[in-house]
Every structure is written in C-alpha cells, then in structure tokens.
Chain A
C-alpha cells in the first residue's frame, strides 16, 4: 500500500546547528503537509506545499517539495531549544479522503 517514509527517526543536535528531515512517498502526491508535535502535546499544522519544486520559508524553517512531488524536506537553520519535538510530514492517500502521516523525526536540541 501507499507509504510515507521519514528519515531520520531521531536527530540530536547542539543548539545553533542546522537540522534537516526528509520525507519520501511511494506515490506522487498532490500536496504535502508538515506538522510539529511538542513533547506531551498534540500535532500542530506548520505548512502545506502544493506545487512541484515549491519552496516556502517560515523564519528559520525552510520547506521544499520535490520536482516529482514524491519527496519533501524540512530544514531548520540554527536550531533553538524551542525547536524540540517531533516533525511529521503527511500526504493524501490515493483514495482522496484520508491523510497518511510519516512516522516522524524526533529532534533533540542540547543547549
């Protein structure tokens, strides 16, 4: 079946270092969403990418959607302790009503 895979599963960084998480789909996606979940919290929507090759920025966060619309990445520049949490990518299933979430990348930031 359709799969959305994320790597790495975990990432430990020193505060100030950059961080990147990658998302790969087994099928072409019409759009991709990114969510952040703080420890003990619930997922919160960050952004949606729709166009092939699209790049969007939110302060220190840069989101990219691949040209083939099968992969995406989230890059954080100069991480801060407030960036700690799990980052999920999510894409629509081929049936159209549901969203498939990746397993997430958990980011640990050491001050």
Chain B
C-alpha cells in the first residue's frame, strides 16, 4: 500500500516549457487535490476533483490545468511555465471532502528558470 505517490520528485524547466505532474493514490479515495507551497504562504489549493471525470478550480488555478480520467490518478499540467510557478507541489487525497483527513504525497519541487 503505497498511499499517495508523485512523479517526478524534482524538475527544472525553462520559461515557456510545458510539463505534467502525476499523482497516484491506491486508497480508492474519491477526492483529490493539488496544492502549491511557497515559503510563508502555507498550502494554496490549485485544483481539486470530487470524483473520476470531475475537476474544479481552487484558490490559484491560473496557468494550470488538470485531468482525472481514472479515479486513482490526478494530473497537473503547466502549459507554458513561468518563474512565478517555481514552488513545491503537493498532491493529496481523501475519502470525501472536508470531514476526512487528507493524505499527502511526498511533493514535487519545481524550478522555472
């Protein structure tokens, strides 16, 4: 039982490049989330999903897209990376919504030059 896994762990991009971050969970959770964490700013929600085939915008969705084609996977895409997107990205999942604890992945450290 791996819990929540994220790939890659580290990535360096040049401005304008694109990439996809993959999150996978093996707990059969319905809800999945993408957060970014910047120093002193806590965790900010980018996008989330309440079930397979659904996605919704969070607090800071601009510049990102997501897809949840399979229940266990939640993909975060950056179409044209900008230095402002340099951050640590965490994926999380939970059984349902806010009454259930969130399980976090190990994070992806992304640097955009």
The count of chain B contact residues (Cβ–Cβ below 8 Å) is: 25
Interface string of B61-76 (1 = CB under 8 A from A): 0000000000000000
**Minimum CB distance partner of A88 in chain B:** B42
Interface string of A28-54 (1 = CB under 8 A from B): 001101010000011111001000000
Judging by beta carbons under 8 Å apart, are A97 and B42 in contact? no
Interface string of B15-44 (1 = CB under 8 A from A): 000000000000000010101000011111
Judging by beta carbons under 8 Å apart, are A92 and B102 in contact? no
Cα distance A104–B43 when bound, in Å? 9
Judging by beta carbons under 8 Å apart, are A92 and B90 in contact? no
Nearest Cβ on chain A to B55's Cβ, whole angstroms: 12
Judging by beta carbons under 8 Å apart, are B104 and A92 in contact? no
The count of chain A contact residues (Cβ–Cβ below 8 Å) is: 25
Judging by beta carbons under 8 Å apart, are A45 and B106 in contact? no
Assuming A42-B106, A97-B48, A98-B48, is B98 touching A31 (CB within 8 A)? Answer: yes
Task: Give A residues with C-beta under 8 Å from B.
Answer: 6, 9, 30-31, 33, 35, 41-45, 48, 88, 91-93, 96-104
Can you list 19 A-B pairs, Cβ within 8 angstroms, ordered by A?
Answer: A31-B99, A33-B102, A43-B90, A43-B102, A44-B104, A45-B101, A45-B102, A88-B42, A91-B98, A97-B97, A97-B98, A98-B33, A98-B45, A98-B58, A99-B102, A100-B45, A101-B35, A102-B42, A103-B40
